[in-house]
Chains A and B, each alone.
Chain A
Amino acid sequence: DTGVSQNPRHKITKRGQNVTFRCDPISEHNRLYWYRQTLGQGPEFLTYFQNEAQLEKSRLLSDRFSAERPKGSFSTLEIQRTEQGDSAMYLCASSLADRGTHYGYTFGSGTRLTVV
């Protein structure tokens, strides 16, 4: 399978706990993006990487959120001290540099986080 893979698909956690999501992009793609989608809204940009370098972070990404892409391959998104407002679908996408905004990213199926 050459698509974007995200794990887990679903995560239910208690408020205050830490959670970590993983994204495996298409192997030849050097750009990797994280977006968040809440009910009734479109995806909102969180951050993106080119290889291992994190090039941009949204103001939506508070200090409780951290993303890494240590070897320029897979990426993790960690949320510390989760709050109910963090409940959302977290989407990962990948693309070749300079092509994502012209020809579209490839999105994964997402990780749905529910904070109770």
Chain B
Amino acid sequence: DQQVKQNSPSLSVQEGRISILNCDYTNSMFDYFLWYKKYPAEGPTFLISISSIKDKNEDGRFTVFLNKSAKHLSLHIVPSQPGDSAVYFCAASEANFGNEKLTFGTGTRLTIIP
């Protein structure tokens, strides 16, 4: 049972435009959500997180939006740069219930076209 879903395996965006990556979840107990970025032959790198008590968190070019009623979150990258080309994973946890495990989605491969 896939509790965290990224339904778009790939996405191509022109350099300078906005990249929007989407993630849906099914577990109502999830209360923290994270985005990771992964380059080939490297481990995932933490990008940004959001608590379920918020609906938006911003860090530079990266903004995560959370819609709890729809069980949906998205990552916006503005403006997109060639170095953003990577696989992006959405992850979720039941952090406030003392559960340290992260549940990951299957990833979206983002390609920025120069």
Name the residue of chain B whose CB is nearest to the CB of A108: B43
Given A41-B106, A55-B100, A101-B102, the answer on whether A109 and B49 have CB atoms closer than 8 Å is: no
A59–B93 alpha-carbon span in the complex (Å): 17
User: Hey, what's the 0/1 contact readout for A101-113 against B, CB within 8 Å counting as 1?
Assistant: 1111111111000
Q: How far is the CB of A18 from chain B (nearest CB, A)?
A: 24
Choose from B34, B41, B103 the contact partner of A45 (Cβ within 8 Å).
B103
- Near A by CB (< 8 A), chain B positions 60-114 give 89, 91, 93, 95, 99-107
A100–B95 alpha-carbon span in the complex (Å): 9
Given A101-B93, A101-B95, the answer on whether A56 and B43 have CB atoms closer than 8 Å is: no
A48 within 8 A of B: yes
| A102→B49 contact, CB < 8 A | yes
**Which A residues form the contact surface with B (CB < 8 A)?**
4, 31, 33, 40-45, 48, 55-56, 58, 91, 93, 100-110
